[in-house]
Amino acid sequence: MDLIQKKKLFSVDTLATLIFLFIFLFFRSFFITPIFSDETIYINMVKALKEGLLPYKDFFFAHPSLQLLLLFPAILTNSFTFVKLYISTIGLSCIFLTYLITRKIFDGKSAFIASIAFLFFPGFLIFGNLAMGTFESLLFFLLSFYFLLNRKNFLSAFLFSLAFFTRYLSLLLLPFLLIYILKFQRKDLKNFLLYSLVSNISFFLLFYFLFGYSFIKSTILYHFFANVKLPSEIASLSWQYLSLGFFTIFISLISFAFSYFEKEEKLFLFSFYPLLYDLIILLIFKQVIYHYFAFSLPFIFISFGRVFSSKSAELKIFLSLILFLSILSNFKSITYYFDKSKNLIFDELTNYTLKFTNENDSIFGSSIPVNYISFVTNRRIALNYFDSDLKHLSFEGLEKVVEEIKKTKPKIIVADANYYGIFYKYFEDEYEKVKEWNVPEYYHIILMKRRE
């Protein structure tokens, strides 16, 4: 009788979780709009891959190429809307895997609560629907952990390698896996380590054989020179972390205290590790953006689900309040990422490009708007500078890049405020300002066209 009830509970919890996720995906389909994030760069890079260009050889890409390959099937449609739905499905898959893992470790009730809290957390509402590479890598990691729980060591190790070669940052999750194995599945340690070593070496050799030294230069050396720092100061843009991390810190601390008093070792690990992970990110990077911290979100909401399912009404109220306040305090950001009326600049830039250029003309400028324009209008970006971030251009040599670009004579340049301040002195004789858009705390864009 107990077994029948357990199966029935599992079925209801799973069905309810899937219904919520499908409702969200349906709702999401009505609010698809380009926004100011690096995803437009990666989406356009995948389109370039479809057209025969190769990363590291034909264009700079700062990460391993598995992210581009994962997005490749969606790009075949040439539809920005379909690509966005595909990306959202990847994020929702991470939530469902969080549900499965929580149910495996704790129970169905905790799993359902964990998945719903994860779904409505602003960190997911914003970044779980963007092709930033983090949730793609997180998908592989969660699959890896799920198969580890089911003692499928080869699959687990292989999938962790996919996570690592999608985003190197997932390496910081390896200690969590090793601690979990040592504490709860010690017999699996030898096989997991062996399979992981073989899998990672194989992937590295494959990429090196395909792309040579440029793969190492773009994905490893670039980050050490441009992103990694000595832990002597707090990283810039830390406010991005605190706008959401302020709430996840409280969730982790509450769960940590609960695990201590209830003597729950697994909950202790899930609640403590996000605090350690976030601290490491803040210490090692020169600049942090919140999606760097998304790898710790499943741990946080697995902890959330377990604590919320306890008998304590006070804890339920407090955790609900934290989640509500996180949504309320970040509502402006959520609106920007879902409200098309806040992003009409993309339509204006696209229409202007279609009117004043043809498919033989090239364009250049700030990565985010220029890559969107390139994707939807089929305009070439000068010399395939998809990633024209100033960090990258400085890494390549700013003056060298300027001279190369000037020779290509792009028809229009779309510059953000930083670009305009740096580049205009090089282009002022050949270009004139057409229009300027300035939305404080969001974007400041200047459109320039080549003088006739």
Using the 3D structure, point to which of 337, 366, 387 is the last residue of a domain: 337
Q: How many domains does the chain have?
A: 2
Q: Which stretches of the chain score pLDDT less than 70?
A: 1-11, 229-237
Does residue 35 lie within any of the structural domains? no
- CA-to-CA distance for 231 and 380, rounded, in angstroms? 40
Q: Are residues 324 and 381 in the same domain?
A: no
Measured between alpha carbons, how far is 148 from 156 in angstroms, rounded to an integer?
5
Same-domain check for residues 322 and 405:
no
Which residue range forms the structural domain that includes residue 425? 344-450
| Same domain membership, residue 359 and residue 325 | no
In a domain, 426, yes or no: yes
Both 139 and 267 in a single domain?
Answer: yes
CATH number, domain containing residue 406: 3.40.190
- The residues, any chain, with a CB within 8 Å of residue 14's CB and separated by 6 or more, are 99, 103, 108
pLDDT recorded at residue 3: 41
- Asked if residue 117 and residue 152 are part of one domain, the reply reads yes
Same domain? 307 vs 265: yes
What 3 state SS string does 112-149 have?
A: HHHHHHHHHCHHHHHHCCCCCCHHHHHHHHHHHHHHHH
Give the predicted TM-score (pTM) of the model. 0.93
Residues with Cβ < 8 Å from 205, sequence gap 6 or more?
Answer: none
Considering the domain architecture, whether residues 270 and 412 belong to the same structural domain is answered as no
Residue 163 lies in a domain: yes
Do 199 and 109 fall into the same domain?
Answer: yes
Residue 211 covered by a domain: yes
Does residue 364 sit in the same domain as residue 316? no
| pLDDT tens for each residue of 364-416 | 999 999 999 999 999 999 999 999 988 888 888 888 888 999 899 999 999 98
End-to-end CA distance of the chain: 82
Q: Answer yes or no: is 264 within a domain.
A: yes
Q: What is residue 429's predicted lDDT score, i.e. its pLDDT?
A: 85
> What angle, 0 to 180 degrees and rounded to 10, lies between the N-to-C axes of helices 313-329 and 108-120?
20
Of 280, 305, 337, the residue that ends a domain is 337
Contact 307, 315 (CB under 8 A): yes
In a domain, 47, yes or no: no
Of 280, 303, 337, the last residue of a domain is 337
- Residue 257, domain member (yes or no): yes
40 within a domain of the structure (yes/no)? no
My answer on whether 355 and 209 are in the same domain is no
Do 214 and 313 sit in the same domain of this protein?
Answer: yes
pLDDT tens-place string over residues 170-203: 999 999 999 999 999 999 999 999 999 999 999 9
Are 15 and 162 found together in one domain?
yes
